[in-house]
Structure 1
Amino acid sequence: MKQTRAGLGYGLGAYLIWGAFPPFFTLIAVVNPFEVVSWRVMTTLLVCALIVTVTRRWSRVRAVLSSPKTFGMFVLSAILLYANWQIFVVGVVTGHVLETSLGYFINPLFTILFGVIFWRERLSRLQWIAVSVAGVGVLYSAIAYGRVPWIALGIALSFGLYGVVHQRIEHVDGVTGLTVETLVSVPIGIVQLIVVASVAGLGAFSFGPLIAGLVLVSGLLTAVPLILFGEAARRLPLTYLGFLQFLTPILAFLFGYFVMGEELPLSRWVGFVGVWIALMFLIADMILRLRRAPSPELAHQPHTGPIPLD
């Protein structure tokens, strides 16, 4: 029970920080979002390097870099993670927080579909109903609203594929993995920073020390919830983590709707409600599977899926 309570504390801390990302990036919306992500990648690498040094994990990083197959998988995951970060930040700073929330609500459904596509998994009846209901809701919303929710779909697609790649990577802890991914991403960030500087100019340090400090601290905010999540995953059953993951998009939805006052016409409500109904079917399916499990070990299976780093 003590382990579970500690795990819940770590898990809540991680997901609350991730849920605070929309208001955080809104505070630095005056800075070009493409510049923000470039600085975020570089500062995240500095934080990871510090953690790896303190915890003496450089041998693990070198082991990944010396393995062509493992390093190749991390190159692919780094590109997907960078794309996910970029889409998310663009969505937030351009006033589409609700759409970023929809993307992370949709993500579990994309994960299921990718299981069918890449691992040839068979869906249960409830899972098929969930995917169908969500698909109809989002499609109707796109047609009625007159615009495809590209930000939501981009977030769900990039993060879903990120999870597919990570399922092929074994025996690499989260901090080591994030360190390698940021090592790969930094050159992309530098090139992007040069392009932004030549086209629009750099602004991270042009709006005073507060904005500059927030931009630089974004790397710390990326690493801290990762560490908290790792501690939670060691202590909590998979089912607990499954429920906790919805806290982040719920907080984003509340921030976008009540604080930012984003419009949510009936056509967009249909998309959200469809996804929420689909998630209820997924939760019901998960509960039924746990009840049918031959032993309680399933409920205490460690979390092996992707970490929501955004």
Structure 2
Amino acid sequence: MPRTLIPAGTVTGAGRADPTDQTKVSQARRRKQALVGWLFALPYVLTFAIFMLIPLLSSFLMSFTDFTSRDVQDPLGVDFVGLQQYTDLFGNPQFRKSMVVTAYFVVVGIPLTMIVALALALALNSGINRFRTAFRVGFYTPVVTSIVAVAVVWRFILQDDGLINAMLGWTGIHGPDWLNSTTWAMPAMILMAVWRNMGTLMIIFLAGLQTIPESVKEAAAIDGAGRWSIFRLITLPLLRPTLLLGAVLLSVGYLQFFEEPYVMTKGGPLDSTLSVTYFTFNQFGFGKYGTASAASYVLFVAIALLSLVQFRALRSKD
């Protein structure tokens, strides 16, 4: 009788494994793991849906209505007005002024904060060896301090007879009444914001600097590169992802600045420190909920667009 040849490694009889059964078992195991994962995530998902997603969707729909405080007792009386709230908003000179003020705060404040924070990070990373930890704690302390407390202290410092003008008086300079001047109120707030936020970026930049290999810098120095060339051609390019993170974090915070004008100036003088978030807060206070919702989503779009620009400008070239 001729002998049937069986390829090596083939399992016959009762021990044969069916690939289809193995696939079904694997799929069932993955479904079980996914179910367990969703069960663990369910408390967060429910919390997010109830306290975040539903209010967000509600406020978005509200921005297309004429909803006011008078309609709280009778929600069925609310009318759908389409884009009318947005067109009225951009026709409101006070809102346009708040956009200019916010843009001024962002365009000046973000680069200035990043430059100061990067300079401090470079100093702590290379030039200062003794008391380095003390300097880190000192520069970071304003970050963990209550913004309301910081704003109250700075309001007294920036008064006409405050500490800054007293120090300027020692040099023969008569300082302005900072917070009551339409010219100097915003620069004063930017100065305070830089002082308060530079600690966060300093820590982030310091962490990024410590990931750059010293061997690369040493090789460049051996080839004749100076400190400025090493910083411009090696340090900054390798620091791009860290710079991007810092810029995005600052953008989200600076576009929503509210506590500073609320505590220090109430948006004055003459709306020179009226931010978009403070304008939105006032609209809620006036009972104009539809207008306030529309202003919030205009700010949301501004944050998204600015973040997109920063991602394109600072993303890695790799």
Higher relative contact order (CA 8 A, sep 6+): 1
As a proportion of its length, which structure holds more helix?
1
Structures share fold, TM-score greater than 0.5: no
TM-score, scaled to structure 2: 0.24
Structure with greater Cα Rg = 2
